[in-house]
Amino acid sequence: MTIAGRTLGSLLLFTVLLAAAPALAKTLVGALTAGAVASPDRFGALAARDALRKGGNAVDAAVATGFALAVTYPEAGNLGGGGFMTVYMDGKPYFLDYRERAPAAARADMYLNAAGDPDTALSLVGNLSAGVPGTVRGLYDAHQRFGKLSWKQDLAPAIALAKRGFRVPAALIAERDEAAPQFAKTTNFAAWAAPMRTGQLFRQPELAGVLQRIADQGADGFYKGPTADLVVAQMARGPIKGLITRADLAAYTAVWREPVVGQWRDFSLITAPPPSSGGIALLQMLQMKADAAPLFRGQMLNSPQYLHLLAEIEKRVFADRASYLGDPDFVKVPVAALIAPDYNARRAREIDPARPSATAGVVPGLEKPQTTHFSILDRWGNAVSNTYTLNGSFGAGVVVEGAGFLLNDEMDDFSAKPGAPNMFGVVGGAANAIAPGKRPLSSMTPTILLRNGRVAMVVGTPGGSRIFTSVFQVIVNAYDFHLPLKAAVAAPRYHHQLLPADTIFAEPYSPFPASLAAGLRTRGYKLVNQGYNGDIAAIEVAGRTPVVAPDPRARGFGLVVP
């Protein structure tokens, strides 16, 4: 389906790919001078480099990185979580949904206390907060469809890192120490994490054994047999029992979905469809900004008026997210209507140019913050943008005994009660209610930008509800404000999400400058320094040469691979 409309001052075409992508399929992929990787840590980048140097493509490199991060980036890299992968391969777009699923025994009211209110102690920590993991099946299915190297070759770096160990960075120790108190007394996190010491080798022989079974047996090495038995046994341990069964694990499937594709300026954006809210939100924000071009004209990046206008856009996007978005296998998501140009032009006309619109009046218009992301580009011009997660830092804080990997707390991403906020302060509705086998709504936004059929940028980030607003700001910084990639990524990022009302969040290491704070307060905003605002992993192509700019906010690492 193609939807065309006129923006204020420019023509903007938006397309929802719900069946196929014939226009993109006809484009030719051009060779580049090199491949590239933007990874959240050095070990993941080196794993990708090795795969590319051996003749592997972007998917091989992504699989190698994904498994390596399960060893060296345990706060978010994972075997026990799930995610989304956006792929551009041989001139065609693809999207793989390997999000976690609710166990068969899950119930809509399973996290409500006697008073009928959400109990976050159950949805965030311990066995009951874990959904059925999807990472291994997702990476396996991606490799089976597109990989050039053998499966064992792609897993070799991760197995070596687990067996031989890696030197623990100080940043990982800081993450561990910050997360540990919430897991005390209710999980086995402390026993697993205690051996980590800054600068010392951390060996994980049990995890190496699991990785070796996966290398030898494919996804069945995780979802069946000894590893599955260890996961099920873990569900019965501790004060909080879990729901995942052998049948849940054996029945897990990843899903190839049609990506959402939109045209913005002279770029085609390939991005995430539901159960992600991120792709739709990103396209809505880009479109509303274009429709409101007269209001933005002459505004400096991150000036008080610029941030006010962004907040007005974001407020409307989050109102739609709360009401309409969920797992498309369970609810009908009005994707075409939400990104239709006429709809977003009308929403843009609702922007109050002077003060925040009253939160109660911003209604849907149709009727933790730890994740990780990596971007890969091979020398043939194929690309992977992959975001996967345990949800909160170190997930549920539960380590599968005998297997050495952490389980997710992704069940908190469901709406435990319509209108009640999750760990990121985001509200949801009935469309995202818990149901057996259902995948929770996500903000993950792995995105690939094309220009004339060739990859122009591969981008994504962790950050919970901040994900798509962060991706949006980097894209706009690069292409509306013409900043070099390094500056576009490093620029301060700000966030608004409808609730709490009239609140703009800044990063802790980039507090509001006095003049900016005064200008926003004059307009009626409350200002909050938040604890986290993403870790962008972006690759931009200049001519035929990739450019990588690691986010200075974390321990990201970028490599160009000749």
Q: Please report which confidence band the pLDDT of residue 424 belongs to, taking 50, 70 and 90 as the band edges.
A: low
Query: Contact 59/51 with Cβ under 8 angstroms?
Result: no
d(CA 502, CA 126): 34
The percent of residues above 90 in pLDDT, for the chain, comes to 83
pLDDT at 216: 98
Give me the mean pLDDT over the 360-385 stretch. Answer: 86
Element (H, E) at 545: strand 545-548
Largest separation between any pair of C-alpha atoms in the chain: 62
Has residue 108 got a pLDDT over 90? Answer: yes
Helix spans in 304-462 (H): 304-324, 335-338, 341-349
Give me the mean pLDDT over the 426-447 stretch. Answer: 89
- 374-407 per-position pLDDT tens digit: 999 999 999 999 999 999 999 999 999 999 999 9
Give me the mean pLDDT over the 414-420 stretch. Answer: 78
More confident residue, 106 or 370: 106
pLDDT at 320: 93
- 26-58 per-position pLDDT tens digit: 444 468 999 999 999 999 999 999 999 999 999
Eight-class DSSP state of 340: -
Distance of CA 446 to the CA centre of its chain: 6
Q: Where along the chain do the CATH 1.10.246.130 domains lie? A: 2-30+261-369+444-501+532-561
Which is the catalytic residue, given 86, 371, 461, 503?
371
Query: Contact 376/62 with Cβ under 8 angstroms?
Result: yes
More confident residue, 20 or 458: 458
- 171-222 per-position pLDDT tens digit: 999 999 999 999 998 999 999 999 999 999 999 999 999 999 999 999 999 9
Give me the mean pLDDT over the 266-275 stretch. Answer: 97
Contact residues for 83 (Cβ-Cβ < 8 A; gap 6+): 98, 99, 134, 135, 138, 371, 386, 387, 388, 389, 444
- 476-491 per-position pLDDT tens digit: 999 999 999 999 999 9
Distance of CA 399 to the CA centre of its chain: 22
pLDDT at 15: 39
Question: Is 182 strand, coil or helix?
Answer: helix
Q: Please report which confidence band the pLDDT of residue 322 belongs to, taking 50, 70 and 90 as the band edges.
A: confident
More confident residue, 286 or 7: 286
Q: Please report which confidence band the pLDDT of residue 426 belongs to, taking 50, 70 and 90 as the band edges.
A: low
Determine the straight-line distance between the first and last CA of the chain, rounded to whole angstroms. Answer: 39
pTM of the predicted model as reported, rounded to 2 decimal places: 0.93
Has residue 23 got a pLDDT over 50? Answer: no
Q: Label residues 55-71 b or e (16+ Cβ within 10 Å = b).
A: ebbbbbbbbbbbbbbbb
The angle formed by the CA atoms of residues 375, 255 and 162, to the nearest 5 degrees, is: 50
Average pLDDT, the chain: 91
d(CA 226, CA 108): 31
pLDDT at 20: 36
Q: Please report which confidence band the pLDDT of residue 288 belongs to, taking 50, 70 and 90 as the band edges.
A: very high
pLDDT at 429: 73
The CATH topology of domain 2-30+261-369+444-501+532-561 is: Serum Albumin; Chain A, Domain 1 (1.10.246)
What are the residues facing 402 on neighbouring strands? none
Does residue 371 carry a catalytic annotation? Answer: yes
Phi/psi at 95 (5° precision): -145, 130
Phi/psi at 491 (5° precision): -55, 145
- The token pair at 202 is 């951390």
